[in-house]
Homo-oligomer: A and B are copies of this chain.
Amino acid sequence: MEEKIVLLAHGAGGKLTHNLIEEIFLKAFDNPYLSPLNDQAVFSSPGKELAFTTDSYVVNPIFFPGGDIGKLAVCGTINDLAVGGADPVYMSASFIIEEGMPMRELEKIVSSMARTSMECGVRIVTGDTKVVERGKGDKVFINTTGIGVVREGVRLSPSFIRPGDIVMVSGTIGDHGIAVLSERGGLNIPVESDCAPLHALTGEVLSKAGARVKAMRDPTRGGLATILNEFSESSGFCILIEEESIPVKDAVKGACELLGFDPLYLANEGKAVIVASSECASGLLFVMRNNPLGRSAAVIGRVIEGPKGKVVLETTVGNRRAVEKLSGEQLPRIC
Protein backbone atom coordinates (compact mmCIF):
# COMPACT_ATOMS: atom_id res chain seq x y z
CA MET A 1 0.00 0.00 0.00
CA GLU A 2 1.35 3.37 -0.94
CA GLU A 3 2.15 5.68 1.94
CA LYS A 4 -0.11 8.70 2.27
CA ILE A 5 1.78 11.95 2.01
CA VAL A 6 0.96 15.64 2.29
CA LEU A 7 0.32 17.22 -1.12
CA LEU A 8 0.53 20.85 -2.16
CA ALA A 9 -3.24 20.76 -2.60
CA HIS A 10 -3.61 20.09 1.13
CA GLY A 11 -2.58 23.72 1.57
CA ALA A 12 -4.78 25.21 -1.15
CA GLY A 13 -7.77 26.01 1.02
CA GLY A 14 -10.18 23.74 -0.84
CA LYS A 15 -11.49 20.20 -0.37
CA LEU A 16 -8.19 18.56 0.56
CA THR A 17 -7.42 21.25 3.13
CA HIS A 18 -10.85 20.70 4.59
CA ASN A 19 -10.27 16.93 4.77
CA LEU A 20 -6.87 17.38 6.41
CA ILE A 21 -8.36 19.69 9.02
CA GLU A 22 -11.32 17.40 9.72
CA GLU A 23 -9.41 14.14 9.78
CA ILE A 24 -6.23 15.13 11.52
CA PHE A 25 -6.46 18.43 13.36
CA LEU A 26 -10.08 18.52 14.45
CA LYS A 27 -10.05 14.88 15.51
CA ALA A 28 -7.03 15.44 17.73
CA PHE A 29 -7.71 18.90 19.13
CA ASP A 30 -11.50 18.70 19.30
CA ASN A 31 -13.04 21.42 21.49
CA PRO A 32 -16.03 23.74 21.17
CA TYR A 33 -13.90 26.78 20.24
CA LEU A 34 -12.12 25.08 17.37
CA SER A 35 -14.90 22.94 15.96
CA PRO A 36 -16.94 25.70 14.24
CA LEU A 37 -13.85 26.08 12.00
CA ASN A 38 -14.23 29.81 11.75
CA ASP A 39 -11.14 31.82 10.93
CA GLN A 40 -10.98 32.94 14.54
CA ALA A 41 -11.82 31.51 17.95
CA VAL A 42 -14.06 33.61 20.18
CA PHE A 43 -14.07 33.31 23.97
CA SER A 44 -14.69 35.34 27.10
CA SER A 45 -11.50 36.91 28.33
CA PRO A 46 -10.01 34.34 30.72
CA GLY A 47 -8.66 36.94 33.15
CA LYS A 48 -7.83 40.53 34.01
CA GLU A 49 -4.22 40.49 33.05
CA LEU A 50 -3.07 38.38 30.13
CA ALA A 51 0.26 37.06 28.92
CA PHE A 52 0.77 36.49 25.20
CA THR A 53 3.68 34.65 23.61
CA THR A 54 4.69 33.15 20.27
CA ASP A 55 7.34 30.72 19.05
CA SER A 56 8.02 28.93 15.81
CA TYR A 57 9.60 25.51 16.06
CA VAL A 58 12.02 24.26 13.42
CA VAL A 59 13.81 21.54 15.40
CA ASN A 60 15.72 18.98 13.34
CA PRO A 61 15.08 16.05 13.58
CA ILE A 62 11.37 16.31 14.30
CA PHE A 63 11.45 13.18 16.48
CA PHE A 64 14.09 12.88 19.21
CA PRO A 65 14.51 10.98 22.50
CA GLY A 66 12.06 12.42 25.00
CA GLY A 67 9.81 14.21 22.54
CA ASP A 68 9.03 15.52 19.10
CA ILE A 69 8.41 18.89 17.46
CA GLY A 70 4.74 18.74 18.49
CA LYS A 71 5.34 18.19 22.18
CA LEU A 72 8.09 20.80 22.01
CA ALA A 73 5.80 23.36 20.37
CA VAL A 74 3.17 22.95 23.09
CA CYS A 75 5.61 22.85 26.01
CA GLY A 76 7.71 25.74 24.71
CA THR A 77 4.79 28.11 24.54
CA ILE A 78 3.36 26.93 27.86
CA ASN A 79 6.78 27.55 29.40
CA ASP A 80 7.05 31.08 28.02
CA LEU A 81 3.72 31.84 29.70
CA ALA A 82 4.69 30.00 32.89
CA VAL A 83 7.92 31.92 33.43
CA GLY A 84 5.90 35.11 32.97
CA GLY A 85 3.85 34.10 36.00
CA ALA A 86 0.85 33.14 33.89
CA ASP A 87 -1.36 30.06 33.79
CA PRO A 88 -1.71 28.93 30.15
CA VAL A 89 -5.27 28.76 28.82
CA TYR A 90 -5.54 29.00 25.04
CA MET A 91 -3.18 28.22 22.21
CA SER A 92 -3.08 28.51 18.43
CA ALA A 93 -1.24 26.03 16.22
CA SER A 94 -0.02 26.81 12.73
CA PHE A 95 1.74 24.31 10.46
CA ILE A 96 4.05 24.88 7.51
CA ILE A 97 4.40 21.45 5.94
CA GLU A 98 6.80 20.40 3.20
CA GLU A 99 5.08 18.61 0.34
CA GLY A 100 5.71 14.88 0.63
CA MET A 101 5.73 14.67 4.42
CA PRO A 102 4.35 11.25 5.40
CA MET A 103 0.84 11.72 6.76
CA ARG A 104 1.49 9.28 9.62
CA GLU A 105 4.37 11.47 10.86
CA LEU A 106 2.08 14.48 10.84
CA GLU A 107 -0.57 12.49 12.71
CA LYS A 108 1.96 11.38 15.29
CA ILE A 109 3.05 14.97 15.90
CA VAL A 110 -0.48 16.27 16.09
CA SER A 111 -1.51 13.58 18.56
CA SER A 112 1.53 14.41 20.65
CA MET A 113 0.41 18.08 20.68
CA ALA A 114 -3.12 17.05 21.61
CA ARG A 115 -1.94 14.82 24.46
CA THR A 116 0.42 17.44 25.90
CA SER A 117 -2.03 20.30 25.68
CA MET A 118 -4.82 18.21 27.20
CA GLU A 119 -2.61 17.14 30.10
CA CYS A 120 -1.95 20.82 30.75
CA GLY A 121 -5.56 21.92 30.45
CA VAL A 122 -4.68 24.14 27.51
CA ARG A 123 -7.02 24.30 24.55
CA ILE A 124 -5.81 24.59 20.97
CA VAL A 125 -8.59 26.81 19.69
CA THR A 126 -7.48 28.07 16.30
CA GLY A 127 -5.01 27.03 13.64
CA ASP A 128 -3.68 27.22 10.12
CA THR A 129 -2.03 24.92 7.60
CA LYS A 130 0.23 25.83 4.71
CA VAL A 131 2.08 23.49 2.38
CA VAL A 132 5.28 24.45 0.54
CA GLU A 133 6.99 22.64 -2.32
CA ARG A 134 9.61 19.94 -1.74
CA GLY A 135 12.93 21.56 -0.91
CA LYS A 136 11.32 24.81 0.26
CA GLY A 137 10.72 23.64 3.83
CA ASP A 138 11.86 20.74 5.98
CA LYS A 139 9.09 18.30 6.86
CA VAL A 140 7.21 20.58 9.24
CA PHE A 141 7.60 23.88 11.05
CA ILE A 142 5.08 24.64 13.79
CA ASN A 143 4.10 27.96 15.32
CA THR A 144 2.26 28.00 18.62
CA THR A 145 1.02 31.21 20.18
CA GLY A 146 -0.39 31.16 23.68
CA ILE A 147 -2.60 33.22 25.94
CA GLY A 148 -2.33 32.85 29.70
CA VAL A 149 -3.71 34.55 32.75
CA VAL A 150 -1.15 36.31 34.90
CA ARG A 151 -1.53 35.27 38.55
CA GLU A 152 -2.87 38.03 40.72
CA GLY A 153 -0.23 40.19 42.31
CA VAL A 154 2.58 38.60 40.32
CA ARG A 155 5.13 41.00 38.83
CA LEU A 156 8.27 39.49 37.40
CA SER A 157 11.10 41.40 35.80
CA PRO A 158 14.88 41.12 35.75
CA SER A 159 14.87 44.79 36.75
CA PHE A 160 13.71 43.71 40.24
CA ILE A 161 16.90 41.67 40.77
CA ARG A 162 19.09 42.97 43.64
CA PRO A 163 22.43 42.00 45.21
CA GLY A 164 21.91 39.21 47.71
CA ASP A 165 19.24 37.46 45.61
CA ILE A 166 19.82 33.80 44.86
CA VAL A 167 19.88 32.13 41.46
CA MET A 168 18.29 28.70 41.10
CA VAL A 169 17.69 26.18 38.32
CA SER A 170 14.89 23.66 38.48
CA GLY A 171 17.09 20.74 37.35
CA THR A 172 19.90 19.43 35.18
CA ILE A 173 20.98 21.55 32.24
CA GLY A 174 21.81 20.64 28.66
CA ASP A 175 19.60 17.56 28.29
CA HIS A 176 17.57 18.84 25.34
CA GLY A 177 20.60 20.09 23.42
CA ILE A 178 22.47 16.82 23.77
CA ALA A 179 19.41 14.65 23.03
CA VAL A 180 18.71 16.48 19.75
CA LEU A 181 22.36 16.54 18.78
CA SER A 182 22.68 12.84 19.50
CA GLU A 183 19.63 11.98 17.42
CA ARG A 184 20.79 14.21 14.59
CA GLY A 185 24.22 12.64 14.48
CA GLY A 186 23.15 9.07 15.27
CA LEU A 187 25.40 9.18 18.35
CA ASN A 188 23.26 7.09 20.72
CA ILE A 189 24.12 9.22 23.75
CA PRO A 190 21.83 7.97 26.56
CA VAL A 191 20.15 11.35 27.25
CA GLU A 192 16.52 12.28 26.74
CA SER A 193 15.24 15.78 26.09
CA ASP A 194 13.82 17.42 29.21
CA CYS A 195 10.93 18.78 27.08
CA ALA A 196 8.13 19.30 29.62
CA PRO A 197 5.49 21.85 30.63
CA LEU A 198 6.63 23.97 33.57
CA HIS A 199 3.45 25.81 34.56
CA ALA A 200 2.70 23.58 37.56
CA LEU A 201 6.22 23.97 38.92
CA THR A 202 6.38 27.74 38.38
CA GLY A 203 2.91 28.03 39.88
CA GLU A 204 4.12 26.27 43.03
CA VAL A 205 7.18 28.53 43.15
CA LEU A 206 5.00 31.63 42.96
CA SER A 207 2.54 30.30 45.54
CA LYS A 208 5.42 29.66 47.91
CA ALA A 209 7.46 32.83 47.48
CA GLY A 210 5.10 35.37 45.93
CA ALA A 211 6.68 38.76 45.25
CA ARG A 212 10.02 37.51 46.56
CA VAL A 213 10.42 35.81 43.18
CA LYS A 214 12.08 38.50 41.05
CA ALA A 215 12.44 36.88 37.64
CA MET A 216 12.00 33.54 35.92
CA ARG A 217 13.08 32.42 32.46
CA ASP A 218 13.37 29.12 30.64
CA PRO A 219 16.88 28.69 29.26
CA THR A 220 16.18 27.42 25.72
CA ARG A 221 18.36 28.59 22.80
CA GLY A 222 21.54 30.16 24.15
CA GLY A 223 21.26 28.15 27.35
CA LEU A 224 21.74 29.13 30.98
CA ALA A 225 24.69 31.40 30.16
CA THR A 226 22.64 33.61 27.86
CA ILE A 227 19.70 33.96 30.27
CA LEU A 228 22.01 34.87 33.15
CA ASN A 229 23.69 37.47 30.97
CA GLU A 230 20.29 38.95 30.12
CA PHE A 231 19.39 39.01 33.82
CA SER A 232 22.63 40.74 34.73
CA GLU A 233 22.33 43.28 31.91
CA SER A 234 18.72 44.14 32.77
CA SER A 235 19.40 44.40 36.50
CA GLY A 236 22.78 46.10 36.28
CA PHE A 237 24.30 43.72 38.82
CA CYS A 238 26.78 40.87 38.63
CA ILE A 239 25.75 37.24 38.84
CA LEU A 240 28.21 34.83 40.43
CA ILE A 241 27.59 31.15 39.82
CA GLU A 242 29.40 28.10 41.14
CA GLU A 243 30.26 25.41 38.63
CA GLU A 244 29.98 22.60 41.15
CA SER A 245 26.44 23.60 42.13
CA ILE A 246 25.08 23.47 38.58
CA PRO A 247 23.30 20.16 38.03
CA VAL A 248 24.52 18.41 34.87
CA LYS A 249 23.93 14.74 34.09
CA ASP A 250 27.07 12.64 33.74
CA ALA A 251 26.08 11.62 30.22
CA VAL A 252 25.68 15.29 29.26
CA LYS A 253 29.03 16.16 30.85
CA GLY A 254 30.67 13.28 29.00
CA ALA A 255 29.10 14.23 25.67
CA CYS A 256 30.17 17.85 26.15
CA GLU A 257 33.77 16.88 26.88
CA LEU A 258 33.88 14.56 23.90
CA LEU A 259 32.26 16.98 21.45
CA GLY A 260 33.57 20.27 22.76
CA PHE A 261 30.30 21.79 23.99
CA ASP A 262 29.74 23.77 27.15
CA PRO A 263 26.56 22.76 29.02
CA LEU A 264 26.04 26.40 30.00
CA TYR A 265 25.15 27.16 26.38
CA LEU A 266 23.05 24.10 25.62
CA ALA A 267 19.29 24.41 25.15
CA ASN A 268 16.83 23.20 27.77
CA GLU A 269 13.11 22.72 27.21
CA GLY A 270 11.85 21.87 30.68
CA LYS A 271 13.90 23.97 33.05
CA ALA A 272 13.35 27.28 34.77
CA VAL A 273 15.98 29.71 36.00
CA ILE A 274 14.67 31.57 39.01
CA VAL A 275 16.03 34.60 40.85
CA ALA A 276 14.50 35.18 44.29
CA SER A 277 15.23 36.77 47.65
CA SER A 278 17.78 34.70 49.54
CA GLU A 279 15.42 33.87 52.43
CA CYS A 280 13.35 31.80 49.96
CA ALA A 281 16.15 29.40 49.14
CA SER A 282 15.23 26.44 51.32
CA GLY A 283 11.48 26.85 50.85
CA LEU A 284 11.80 26.96 47.08
CA LEU A 285 14.19 24.04 46.98
CA PHE A 286 11.69 22.03 49.00
CA VAL A 287 8.79 22.96 46.74
CA MET A 288 10.66 22.29 43.52
CA ARG A 289 12.20 19.01 44.63
CA ASN A 290 8.71 17.74 45.48
CA ASN A 291 7.65 18.33 41.88
CA PRO A 292 8.67 15.55 39.47
CA LEU A 293 10.13 18.18 37.15
CA GLY A 294 12.23 19.78 39.88
CA ARG A 295 13.91 16.82 41.61
CA SER A 296 17.41 18.15 40.83
CA ALA A 297 16.62 21.78 41.57
CA ALA A 298 19.58 23.67 43.00
CA VAL A 299 20.80 27.06 44.14
CA ILE A 300 23.58 27.75 41.67
CA GLY A 301 24.70 31.24 42.59
CA ARG A 302 23.86 34.71 43.77
CA VAL A 303 23.60 38.30 42.67
CA ILE A 304 26.44 40.56 43.82
CA GLU A 305 27.28 44.26 43.51
CA GLY A 306 29.97 44.17 40.86
CA PRO A 307 31.27 44.00 38.23
CA LYS A 308 27.99 45.27 36.76
CA GLY A 309 26.31 43.42 33.91
CA LYS A 310 28.65 40.45 34.17
CA VAL A 311 28.21 36.77 34.82
CA VAL A 312 31.13 35.16 36.63
CA LEU A 313 31.67 31.43 37.06
CA GLU A 314 33.60 30.08 40.01
CA THR A 315 35.05 26.85 38.65
CA THR A 316 35.38 23.61 40.59
CA VAL A 317 39.08 24.33 41.05
CA GLY A 318 38.35 27.76 42.50
CA ASN A 319 39.18 30.00 39.55
CA ARG A 320 36.83 32.69 38.33
CA ARG A 321 36.03 33.34 34.69
CA ALA A 322 33.58 35.53 32.86
CA VAL A 323 30.68 33.75 31.17
CA GLU A 324 29.69 35.57 27.99
CA LYS A 325 26.46 35.36 26.03
CA LEU A 326 26.44 32.73 23.33
CA SER A 327 28.26 34.13 20.31
CA GLY A 328 27.97 32.45 16.94
CA GLU A 329 26.10 29.28 16.26
CA GLN A 330 26.43 26.40 18.66
CA LEU A 331 23.67 24.10 17.47
CA PRO A 332 21.33 25.29 14.74
CA ARG A 333 17.65 24.30 14.80
CA ILE A 334 17.64 23.03 18.35
CA CYS A 335 14.04 24.13 18.89
Interface residues of A (CB under 8 A from B): 7-9, 11-18, 36-58, 60, 80-81, 83-84, 86, 90, 92-96, 125-128, 130-133, 135-138, 141, 143, 145, 147-148, 150, 157, 217-218, 220-223, 226, 230, 265, 267, 325-333
Task: Check B41–A133 contact: CB distance below 8 A.
Answer: no
Cα–Cα, bound, A46→B44 (Å): 11
Cα(A334)–Cα(B251), bound, Å: 47
User: Shortest 6 CB-CB distances between A and B: which pairs?
Assistant: A13-B221, A14-B326, A13-B222, A54-B92, A145-B145, A40-B53
State the Cβ distance, A153 to closest chain B Cβ, in Å: 13
Complex Cα–Cα for A218 and B13 (A): 12
Complex CA gap A8/B58 in Å reads 12
Residue of B nearest to A132 (CB): B58
Closest to A265 in B: B14
Contact B15 A326 (CB under 8 A): yes
CB distance from A79 to the nearest CB of B (A): 8
State which of B58, B143, B327 has its C-beta within 8 Å of the C-beta of A145.
B143
Nearest B residue to A330, CB-CB: B12
Bound Cα distance A57, B132 (Å): 10
Q: Which residues of B contact A218 (CB under 8 A)?
A: 39
**Contact A52 B90, CB 8 Å, known A39-B80, A147-B147, A332-B133:** yes
A-B contact pairs, 8 of them (CB 8 A): A12-B329, A15-B326, A40-B83, A43-B50, A43-B52, A55-B94, A92-B145, A143-B143
A145 touches B54 (CB 8 A): yes
The winner among A80, A126, A148, A331 for most chain B CB atoms within 10 A is A126
Does A94 contact B13, Cβ atoms closer than 8 Å?
no
Nearest B residue to A42 via CB reads: B51
Give the contacting residue for A54; candidates B94, B132, B327; CB below 8 A.
Answer: B94
Q: How far is the CA of A326 from the CA of B52 in the complex (A)?
A: 35
Main secondary structure of the interface of A (DSSP, over half): mixed
Extra 11 A-B pairs, beta carbons < 8 Å, given A41-B52, A42-B49, A130-B333: A12-B222, A16-B327, A40-B53, A40-B83, A45-B48, A45-B50, A52-B126, A54-B143, A56-B143, A94-B143, A137-B138
Q: Which residues of B contact A55 (CB under 8 A)?
A: 94, 128
Tell me, in angstroms, the Cα distance from A18 to B60 when the chains sit together: 22
- Taking the closest CB of chain B, its distance from the CB of A289, in whole angstroms, is 25
CA distance A136 to B81 in the complex (A): 29
Bound CA span A94–B58, Å: 12
A202 to chain B, nearest CB (A): 12
| A84 contact from B42, B90, B93, Cβ within 8 A | B42
How far apart sit A94 and B53, CA to CA, in the bound complex (Å)?
Answer: 10
Q: Chain B contacts of A58 at CB under 8 A?
A: 96, 130, 132
Which chain B residue has the least Cβ–Cβ distance from A139?
B136
Say yes or no: B125 contacts A132, CB within 8 Å: no
Q: How far is the CA of A138 from the CA of B328 in the complex (A)?
A: 22
Q: Are B84 and A12 in contact (CB under 8 A)?
A: no
Known: A53-B126, A138-B136. Contact between A84 and B40, CB under 8 A? yes
CB nearest to A41 among chain B residues: B52
The chain B residue with its CB closest to the CB of A99 is: B332
